């Protein structure tokens, strides 16, 4: 769904404790979060009317804000209740949710300790990040130009708005070349993640994935690792270099938006979705459904 389509809907959003029409959920032009990226957010999905791992997402939202040196003025329970209310009031069952918190417009300079902290929650129907056809064939990945930053230079484990600037640029460049997404390296040249999803590889019946250092340890990523271990699949979290890509037989990406999506190509490297990829995709689809 495009932003234009969203704006035309008569949905309501939760904005600082009140439900208001989406068209009225406006912020001042001189908002600190807009000018200085002092904003954090979450991406979540509801399946059958139940938000998958809602508490984990709300806890991470608050932790991300703390990494940006502000405190969201709502408890985890209050945030969870607000998300459920947004689903209910919009009549949504299977939906995507976007909580976002940011510094307000009281002061526009770099220093903004006294700016009010706002929280808004929106929800809409948004299918998988990739089309059904892409998921069946496996998506094609380009290599990103930009690298994920050193944790000593940015709060790289927070889900912070500013960290996604290079992701948008990299994804646009990949799409212009005919790819679905881009694979990013970190400041050391190690393979880490795509622009909005974590990545996994299969080698000799084992699941390999970059160790979560300097990038977001996704909730979907953690879920898939749990599912693999339940299946008795060995999970190896380790440094992965670009030259290692030719040694893997399968690959897939994970994320709330992407869910579990097979990869068929990374640059010159080719992969075929096999038994492990298909099994974990199926297991994840089952795991997210309400009991």
CA distance 186 to 92: 38
Exposed, middle or buried by CB within 10 Å (0-12, 13-18, 19+), for 114? Answer: exposed
Kindly list the distances between the CA atom of residue 116 and the CA atoms of 102, 112, 232, 259, 281, in Å, as whole numbers in the listed order.
8, 9, 48, 34, 42
Residue-level pLDDT at 1 = 41
- Could you list the beta-strand ranges (E) of 80-231: 95-103, 117-124, 139-148, 181-186, 191-194, 198-203, 206-210
The pLDDT confidence band at residue 4, using thresholds 50, 70 and 90, is very low
- Which pair of tokens denotes residue 150? 């050193």
What domains can be seen in the chain, in order of their start residue?
A: 3-124 (3.30.470.10), 132-287 (3.20.10.10)
- Element (DSSP H or E) covering residue 227: helix 219-230
Mean pLDDT of 149-164: 96
Q: Is 262 left (phi over 0), alpha (psi -120 to 50) or beta?
A: beta
| Catalytic residue list | 159
Query: Is residue 200 scored above 90 in pLDDT?
Result: yes
CA distance 182 to 143: 5
- Element (DSSP H or E) covering residue 262: strand 259-266
The pLDDT confidence band at residue 133, using thresholds 50, 70 and 90, is low
């Amino acid at each position: 769904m495009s932003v234009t389509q969203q704006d035309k809907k008569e949905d309501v959003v939760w904005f600082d404790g009140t439900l208001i029409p989406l068209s009225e959920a406006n912020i001042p032009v001189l908002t600190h979060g807009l000018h200085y990226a002092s904003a954090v957010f979450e991406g979540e999905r509801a399946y059958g009317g139940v938000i998958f791992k809602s508490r984990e997402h709300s806890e991470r939202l608050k932790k991300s804000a703390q990494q940006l040196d502000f405190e969201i003025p709502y408890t985890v329970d209050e945030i969870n209740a607000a998300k459920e209310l947004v689903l209910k009031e919009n009549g949504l069952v299977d939906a995507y949710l976007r909580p976002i918190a940011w510094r307000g417009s009281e002061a526009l300079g770099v220093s903004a300790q006294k700016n009010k902290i706002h929280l808004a929650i929106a929800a809409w129907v948004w299918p998988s990040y990739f089309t059904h056809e892409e998921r069946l064939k496996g998506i094609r990945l380009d290599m990103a130009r930009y690298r994920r930053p050193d944790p000593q230079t940015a709060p790289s484990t927070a889900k912070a708005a500013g960290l996604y600037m290079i992701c948008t640029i990299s994804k646009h460049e990949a799409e212009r070349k005919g790819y679905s997404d881009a694979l990013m390296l970190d400041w050391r040249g190690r393979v880490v993640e795509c622009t909005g999803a974590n990545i996994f590889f299969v080698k000799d019946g084992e699941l390999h994935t970059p160790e979560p250092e300097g990038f977001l340890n996704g909730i979907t990523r953690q879920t898939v690792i749990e599912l693999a271990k339940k299946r008795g699949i060995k999970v190896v979290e380790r440094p992965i270099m670009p030259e290692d890509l030719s040694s893997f037989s399968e690959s897939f990406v994970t994320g709330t938006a992407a869910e579990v999506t097979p990869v068929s190509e990374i640059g010159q490297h080719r992969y075929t979705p096999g038994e492990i990829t298909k099994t974990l995709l199926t297991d994840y689809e089952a795991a997210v459904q309400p009991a």
